[in-house]
């Protein structure tokens, strides 16, 4: 196995079981172990995020670069891009993950003209294709960075200037081409700058119509080139914009319905975006899944004491379990996966910290999978929910749901039957049951 950038591991990370004291081993993730009808690897479909893991510098609002990565030492931006890609494939191979995700500007530097940027991207796509073939690593999704360049300060698709809209559209065309060329299984739209700061300069209807038009153009292009990957929208409520149009799952689903885009998109739900929106991760997953539109997950976590997107690696087994229950119940994520859109803390400066971070995230979701499978197999919690609603499956409740009951009928029925008797929701008992499952693995 090639060792150039990550000498801390000579080989791949191994499954050693939960009693192992080796921090560079998996205690739970055993990729070929069968759970239900699939292997762990097939259930979890882990992915490494190119931007945080290979481009991240540890920068925060008060300080610049804190990480000195061996793949960022050469002066020429294309040389750096090539070293970075070599490092990426070495890392992902050693971690034993099947997928990665990127923005166009992560894998290839922006040139001074649009054509130069396109040329850089094409060159890096050629290199990625060779490395994918050599390692078997696949592209979960590609996307375009429509937020970093200052031309997008007032939006990309929602910019008041059609010239900027055209630039964003041209950039997305090339990012879809790159994703298609690399056999990407999905393509993500996260509208980082698609929102507004003040109504004093904003026409809300116009901007949302522009966004819808932009997405329709992308759907038309996808069909014209025969790209079969799933289109995904990633909701987020704020940051960088104060108000973002795709602020949470429910808002995004309504937007897709209103603009005739519902069948062409699914959602990529990110844990930290959910908490920023004032929801739980599982709420956002459940809303997307209930609409048949949960396509993929950005697996990370926020910090409830901080009001910004901290993008930490997931360590919360409780939350991962609830997420995996939802994912298993919809029979998996299809072409989606669990992408670690997460970064080590500024003080975690060594390359080995990247392994610790990913190993922790992978074991957390594996534990979630094991517990979730047990919860589903036992059926105890499901049974409680179905019993709770059983008054709607026969008698008057069934007639109500069939549409055969009027308000007058309800009045007659209530006069005849009298007042309903309140029933407990048993929340504490259910929480105790969940805790018992968490302790079993």
Interface contacts to ligand XUL, rule CB under 6 A: 103, 143, 188, 190, 234, 236, 270, 298, 309, 341
Q: Which is nearer to ligand XUL, 188 or 218 (CB)?
A: 188
Rounded to whole angstroms, the Cα distance separating 14 from 24 reads: 8
- Cβ atoms of 117 and 108 within 8 Å: the answer is yes
Rounded to whole angstroms, the Cα distance separating 365 from 363 reads: 6
Q: Which one-letter DSSP state was computed for residue 84?
A: H
Q: Which does 83 bind (CB under 5 to 8 A by kind): Co ion, ligand XUL, none?
A: none
Q: Which is nearer to ligand XUL, 45 or 236 (CB)?
A: 236
Q: Which is nearer to Co ion, 267 or 325 (CB)?
A: 267
Q: Which is nearer to Co ion, 124 or 233 (CB)?
A: 233
Cβ neighbourhood burial of 280 (10 Å; 0-12, 13-18, 19+): middle
**Smallest separation, CB 414 to ligand XUL (Å):** 50
Q: Which is nearer to Co ion, 106 or 270 (CB)?
A: 270
Q: Which does 236 bind (CB under 5 to 8 A by kind): ligand XUL, Co ion, none?
A: ligand XUL
Among candidate residues 83, 106, 248, 363, the one labeled active-site is: 106
Residue 106 annotated as catalytic: yes
Residues 6+ away with beta carbon under 8 Å from 75: none
**Smallest separation, CB 135 to Co ion (Å):** 24
Among candidate residues 43, 52, 103, 283, the one labeled active-site is: 103
Residue 378 — left, alpha, or beta (φ > 0 → left; ψ -120 to 50 → alpha)?
A: alpha
**Smallest separation, CB 337 to ligand XUL (Å):** 13
Which two structure tokens, joined as six digits, stand for 112? 């001074």
- Cβ atoms of 186 and 229 within 8 Å: the answer is yes
Which two structure tokens, joined as six digits, stand for 201? 């300069």
Give the N- to C-terminal CA distance of the chain in Å, as an integer. 33
Residue 163 annotated as catalytic: no
Rounded to whole angstroms, the Cα distance separating 298 from 233 reads: 12
Other CB atoms within 10 A of residue 160 CB: 14
**Smallest separation, CB 267 to ligand XUL (Å):** 12
Other CB atoms within 10 A of residue 243 CB: 15
Residue nearest to ligand XUL as judged by C-beta position: 190
Q: Which does 222 bind (CB under 5 to 8 A by kind): ligand XUL, Co ion, none?
A: none
Q: Which is nearer to ligand XUL, 268 or 289 (CB)?
A: 268
Q: Which does 253 bind (CB under 5 to 8 A by kind): ligand XUL, Co ion, none?
A: none
Phi then psi for 48, rounded to 5 degrees?
-100, 135
Q: Which does 43 bind (CB under 5 to 8 A by kind): Co ion, ligand XUL, none?
A: none
Q: Which does 215 bind (CB under 5 to 8 A by kind): ligand XUL, Co ion, none?
A: none
Rounded to whole angstroms, the Cα distance separating 368 from 289 reads: 18
Q: Which is nearer to Co ion, 104 or 298 (CB)?
A: 298
- Cβ atoms of 268 and 232 within 8 Å: the answer is yes
Q: Which is nearer to ligand XUL, 31 or 229 (CB)?
A: 229
**Smallest separation, CB 172 to ligand XUL (Å):** 12
**Smallest separation, CB 163 to ligand XUL (Å):** 23
- Cβ atoms of 16 and 24 within 8 Å: the answer is no
Strands 186-189 and 230-233: parallel
- Cβ atoms of 208 and 157 within 8 Å: the answer is no
User: What would the DSSP string read from start to end of 142-208?
Assistant: EE---SSSGGGTT-STT-S-HHHHHHHHHHHHHHHHHHHHTT-SEEEE--TT-EES-GGG--HHHHH
Contact residues toward Co ion (CB under 5 A) are: 270, 298, 341
351-378 and 380-388 helices, crossing angle to 10°: 60
Which two structure tokens, joined as six digits, stand for 435? 């805790």
**Smallest separation, CB 51 to Co ion (Å):** 9
**Smallest separation, CB 135 to ligand XUL (Å):** 23
- Give me the active site residues, please: 103, 106
């Amino acid at each position: 196995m090639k060792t150039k950038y990550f000498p801390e591991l000579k080989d791949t990370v191994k499954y050693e079981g939960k009693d192992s004291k080796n921090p560079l081993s998996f205690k739970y993730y055993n990729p070929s172990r069968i759970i239900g009808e699939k292997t762990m690897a097939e259930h979890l479909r882990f992915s490494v995020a190119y931007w945080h893991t290979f481009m991240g510098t540890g920068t925060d609002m008060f300080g610049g670069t804190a990480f000195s990565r061996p793949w960022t030492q050469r002066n020429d931006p294309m040389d750096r891009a090539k070293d970075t890609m070599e490092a990426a494939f070495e890392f992902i191979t050693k971690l034993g993950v099947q997928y990665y995700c990127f923005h166009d500007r992560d894998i290839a530097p922006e040139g001074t003209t649009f054509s130069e940027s396109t040329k850089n991207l094409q060159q890096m796509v050629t290199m990625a294709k060779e490395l994918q073939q050599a390692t078997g690593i696949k592209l979960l999704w590609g996307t375009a960075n429509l937020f970093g360049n200052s031309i997008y300060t007032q939006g990309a698709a929602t910019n008041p200037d059609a010239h900027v809209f055209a630039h964003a559209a041209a950039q997305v065309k090339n990012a879809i081409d790159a994703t298609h060329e690399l056999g990407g299984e999905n393509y993500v739209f996260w509208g980082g700058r698609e929102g507004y700061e003040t109504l004093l300069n904003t026409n809300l209807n116009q901007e949302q119509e522009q966004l819808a038009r932009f997405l329709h153009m992308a759907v038309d292009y996808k069909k014209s080139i025969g790209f079969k990957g799933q289109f995904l929208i990633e909701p987020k409520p704020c940051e960088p914009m104060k108000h973002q149009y795709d602020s949470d799952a429910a808002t995004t689903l309504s937007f897709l319905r209103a603009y005739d885009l519902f069948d062409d998109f699914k959602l990529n739900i990110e844990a930290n975006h959910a908490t920023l929106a004032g929801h739980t991760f599982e709420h956002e997953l459940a809303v997307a899944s209930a609409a048949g539109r949960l396509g993929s997950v950005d697996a990370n976590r926020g910090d409830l004491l901080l009001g910004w997107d901290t993008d930490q690696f997931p360590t919360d087994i409780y939350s991962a379990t609830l997420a995996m229950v939802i994912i298993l119940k919809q029979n998996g994520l299809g072409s989606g996966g669990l992408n670690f859109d997460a970064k080590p803390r500024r003080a975690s400066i060594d390359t080995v910290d990247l392994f610790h971070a990913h190993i922790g995230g992978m074991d957390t979701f594996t534990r979630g999978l094991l517990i979730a499978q047990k919860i589903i197999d036992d059926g105890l919690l499901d049974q409680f929910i179905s019993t709770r609603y059983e008054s709607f499956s026969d008698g008057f409740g069934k007639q109500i749901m069939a549409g055969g009951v009027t308000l007058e009928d309800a009045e007659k029925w209530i006069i005849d039957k009298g007042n309903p008797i309140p029933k407990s929701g048993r929340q504490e008992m259910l929480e105790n049951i969940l805790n018992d499952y968490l302790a079993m693995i």
